[in-house]
Amino acid sequence: MTGRAVPGAATRWRNWSGNQRAEVLVVHPTSADEVADVVATAARDGRRVRPIGSSHSFSAIGRPEELQVVLDELCGVAVGEDGRVTVGAGTPLYRLNAELARTGWALTNLGDIDRQTVAGALATGTHGTGARFGGLATQVRGLQLVTPAGEVLSCDRTTHPEVFRAGRVGLGALGVVTAVTLQAEPAFALHAVEGPGRLSAALRGFEDLMTCTDHVEFYWFPHTDATLVKCNTRVPLAQGLDPLPRWREVWDDEILANAAFAGVVAAGRRVPALVPSLARVSARALGPRSWTDHSHRVFVSRRRVRFLEMEYAVPRHAAPGVLAELRRVHEAGDWRTAFPVEVRLAAADDIPLSTASGRDTAYIAAHVPAGTDPGPWFTALEAIAGAVGGRPHWGKLHGLDAATLRERYPRFDEFLAVRDRLDPTGVLANAHLDRVLGPAPGR
């Protein structure tokens, strides 16, 4: 087996939040050919293989069972004159963003975390917010993918188009993605306006709020009617930048949003009865602010307080009702919830297992501190979202199986047909993928 491996010994692995752990043999291939050798050898020996990026998923989608392929050696960014950028699968998003900015380009939309690798973010359907904008996978124009047979496929809309269609959100189930081509656009700035709001007002005027500018999201603080609303408007770089003063950035984003919030979470875990009061303090802590900066610097936030997350994608028109019911059951349940609920939008896309496949979508995300039991809070969100056909984020916690997910995704069997052809014996699967996709036919 080529690549930088740990022969004869298991390496301890854990994900970012610490809720997924394993001891597994690890290999770090340095090229697509080495990936092909590793995967084909594992298939011949009857071993299961899972590729991994930065281990930022909360679900067990990346949990290895026998052999883990770490893609950290497959890095690099090559930007073309037309904004087509080819990226090694293991390149972290923050490195890609920095190189694009240096060369005068930017990704159209981003999530609020940039620690994931490009391939890992695509595999799980990472998205940002914006009623007119799709997730990261909608920017993909080509994939290089290694199949369990050891074949290196280059896929786009005309070459292996069925693999390309499915592989843009592929769950790591079709092959090991080794390189991605994305379409960037000329670099732009975002004018950010943040400030307090009310959940009751957001529910009454949901469409007006969420479409008032290009990228809108809000956070609802349970135990209160308070929200924090973030509105980002796309502006040309030529208009100039007006970034936050360094002291304000440190105060808001490091001291209040991270250090002070960590104290709130810790206090709530020690004395749960304090959580409602602490939630009201958190809701008032971040005051109004506005600034203009490079797009990736505004899209992305620092997340230093570790947590577990469940996020459901629901039809956009159904979001106010889902949030109203979530608030009702939260108040009736007398739960202690320190983390805010995040609400975002995405445009419909044509990707079979994208959470926005075929419908304009609202995302509703709940969180609990890492190391705690989500209990009835996550159960409630899953039930309420499920009543309107909600689809769980592939990288976040949920309890659905293949039978239920097939009902939520009209093109579910289209994806499975590609999976069953490329990986008929489930070389790239694990117990989690067996649950959410069903076992491969030859397993």
Give per-residue pLDDT as tens, 137-156.
999 999 999 999 999 999 99
pLDDT band at 287 (very low <50, low <70, confident <90, very high): confident
Determine the average pLDDT of the residues in 175-202. 97
Cα 176 from Cα 247, distance rounded (Å): 43
Determine the average pLDDT of the residues in 423-434. 97
pLDDT of residue 188 exceeding 70, the answer is: yes
Positive or negative, the Cα torsion across 365, 367, 373, 375? negative
pLDDT band at 375 (very low <50, low <70, confident <90, very high): confident
Q: What pLDDT is stored for residue 338 in this prediction?
A: 84
pLDDT of residue 238 exceeding 90, the answer is: yes
- 78 Cβ contact partners less than 8 Å away, ≥ 6 residues apart: 85, 86, 87
Nearest to 432 by CA among 104, 101, 15, 102: 15
CB 72 within 8 A of CB 103: no
pLDDT band at 178 (very low <50, low <70, confident <90, very high): very high
pLDDT of residue 405 exceeding 80, the answer is: yes
Among 30-44, 54-68, 75-89, 274-288, the least confident range: 274-288
Is the pLDDT higher at 334 or at 366? 366
Burial of 175 (C-beta count, 10 Å sphere; 0-12/13-18/19+) = buried
pLDDT of residue 370 exceeding 80, the answer is: yes
Number of neighbours of residue 80 by Cβ within 10 angstroms: 13
Instruction: Copy the structure tokens of residue 83.
Output: 């904004």
pLDDT band at 334 (very low <50, low <70, confident <90, very high): confident
CB 304 within 8 A of CB 262: yes
pLDDT band at 8 (very low <50, low <70, confident <90, very high): very low
Determine the average pLDDT of the residues in 249-256. 61
Average pLDDT, the chain: 93
Nearest to 168 by CA among 319, 354, 406, 435: 354
Burial of 43 (C-beta count, 10 Å sphere; 0-12/13-18/19+) = buried
Burial of 232 (C-beta count, 10 Å sphere; 0-12/13-18/19+) = buried
Cα 135 from Cα 351, distance rounded (Å): 10
Among 3-12, 193-202, 299-308, 433-442, the least confident range: 3-12
Percent of the chain whose pLDDT exceeds 70? 94
Q: What pLDDT is stored for residue 330 in this prediction?
A: 94
Is the pLDDT higher at 37 or at 255? 37
pLDDT band at 255 (very low <50, low <70, confident <90, very high): low
pLDDT band at 281 (very low <50, low <70, confident <90, very high): confident
pLDDT band at 136 (very low <50, low <70, confident <90, very high): very high
pLDDT band at 5 (very low <50, low <70, confident <90, very high): very low
pLDDT of residue 265 exceeding 80, the answer is: no
Determine the average pLDDT of the residues in 286-290. 85
pLDDT of residue 7 exceeding 80, the answer is: no
Determine the average pLDDT of the residues in 341-365. 98
pLDDT of residue 251 exceeding 60, the answer is: no
pLDDT of residue 6 exceeding 90, the answer is: no
Instruction: Copy the structure tokens of residue 298.
Output: 């505004």
Determine the average pLDDT of the residues in 425-443. 96
Is the pLDDT higher at 20 or at 251? 20
pLDDT of residue 207 exceeding 70, the answer is: yes
Strands (E), 261-379: 289-294, 307-315, 341-346, 361-369
Residues found in the chain = 443
Which string of b and e fits 269-292 if b means at least 16 CB within 10 Å?
beeeebbbebbeebbeebeeeebb
Is the pLDDT higher at 124 or at 279? 124
Domains of the chain: 77-186 (3.30.465.10), 188-392 (3.40.462.10)
Determine the average pLDDT of the residues in 76-100. 97
Instruction: Copy the structure tokens of residue 410.
Output: 């009209």
pLDDT of residue 123 exceeding 90, the answer is: yes
pLDDT band at 335 (very low <50, low <70, confident <90, very high): confident
Q: Tell me the one-letter amino acid at 297.
A: R
CB 117 within 8 A of CB 53: yes
pLDDT of residue 21 exceeding 50, the answer is: yes
